[in-house]
Every structure is written in structure tokens, then in C-alpha cells.
Chains A and B, each alone.
Chain A
């Protein structure tokens, strides 16, 4: 158990809909990262928050948005869903802003299926 909690574990929805994925980082971790894992694209970095502020942005679509709340939990919002958004979405957390000496702790993921 990494200490990172993601909900829901599974989600099935239709094209055009909107969903919210939730992540609670490990106790004490200030950074939250979101990754998308799909069969054709592998693990893609989406976005990182550090203590409530956006720190780094990757290949995140404009239809997607995220935020980190004062209690440090984070939500990833996916809207106008398309079939290609079906993937496993991972949240990870770490104490440090820099990864040069740190480690990312991953949740078990939220599997999104868009029909």
C-alpha cells in the first residue's frame, strides 16, 4: 500500500460526458502528479501541483483540468469525453518539489472506459 488513494477505481461513461477523478496523497506529501496510461501512448505525464499551485504541465488536453485543494487532495476533471480518453489514470505524490532525490508514490489508478 503506497498510501496514495484514488477514487473511483473503475468508471464507465459515455462520449460527451464529464467525470472527476479524485486523489488523496500520502500524509505529508505536498506534490501531486497525474499520469495517463494507455496501450498506445504508454505513461504520459499530465500535470503536477505543489502545495496548491500548478508546478509543471505535460501533455494535458484543454478538455482536462486539475486542481489541488488546501487539504492537498487533488481532482482531475475530464470533460467532453471521447473514446480515446479511455485509459488508466494514475495519481502520484511526493514530498519534494524536485525528483532528483525523491520518489514518486503511485496510487492504484482509476480506470476510465468511455463508450
Chain B
């Protein structure tokens, strides 16, 4: 079945450090890929997305590139801030073409940024 694998956390970084959170996927079709972020006590919110191979999603300094050849969608940010501390979820969707409209999520990676 379809699945998403993320690196385990927590990831602890100093402010202004470079961030990479790895995400790989397995899917039977051609999924759209997403990164969602969950701040403490809140619901998930979309951070960025990419709908086809080689697309780059970007938002708030975060970037991720849809790599079909390596089935990956790694999240990167050049300089993290304390306010980026949250749990980050990688997800895929096959939409109507893939037997349902649900998002399949990875297990989430907790990021802690310290001063």
C-alpha cells in the first residue's frame, strides 16, 4: 500500500542552523506530495506542496523538491528560528485517480530549535 517514511525525531538545532528532514514515499500511482506543520496545541496546517515530479514547493523559507527517481520529498530550510519548533509531517495523496481522496501521513518529525 501507499506509505510515507520520515526520519525520526526529535531533531534539535541551534537557531540559524540548516535543517533537513528526510521523507521518502511508496505509491502505486503518481501522488501529490505535501508537508504539513503542527505547532503545539494546534491542528495541522499546510506548509508546502508539489503536484508533479521536479516541482519545488516553498513557503516561509522552507523548500522541498519532488524527486520521482528517488521517491523523496525532503524538507529544507537554510536558517531555522525558534518559532519553527513544531512537528512536521510529510504526506501524499493520490486524489481521485488513486482510489480515494485521503492524505497518507508519515509519523511526523519533531523539531526543536534552541537559542
Residues of B within 8 A of A104 (CB): 44, 46, 103
B112 within 8 Å of A by Cβ? no
Size bin of chain A's contact surface: 20 to 34
Q: Given the known A-B contacts A98-B96, A108-B42, are A55 and B101 also in contact in the complex, defined by CB atoms under 8 Å?
A: yes
Number of B positions contacting A (CB below 8 A): 25
Map CB proximity to B onto A95-112 as digits: 1 under 8 Å, 0 otherwise: 001111101111111000
A13-21, A41-49, A65-73, A76-84 - the one binding chain B: A41-49
Contact of B32 among A31, A92, A99, A107 (CB under 8 A): A99
B20 within 8 Å of A by Cβ? no
Q: Given the known A-B contacts A33-B102, A42-B106, A45-B102, are A108 and B96 also in contact in the complex, defined by CB atoms under 8 Å?
A: no
A90:B102 contact, CB within 8 angstroms = no
Interface residues of B in 45-64 (CB under 8 A from A): 45-46, 49, 51
B107 within 8 Å of A by Cβ? yes
Interchain nearest-CB distance for B103 vs A (Å): 6
B101:A43 contact, CB within 8 angstroms = no
A8 within 8 Å of B by Cβ? no
Which B residues lie at the A interface, using CB under 8 A?
32, 36, 41-46, 49, 51, 89, 93, 95-97, 99-108
Which A residues lie at the B interface, using CB under 8 A?
2, 4, 31, 33, 35, 42-43, 45, 48, 50, 55-58, 90, 92, 97-101, 103-109
| A-B contact sample (8 more), CB < 8 A, given A42-B106, A50-B101 | A33-B103, A42-B107, A42-B108, A45-B102, A90-B43, A99-B93, A105-B45, A106-B36
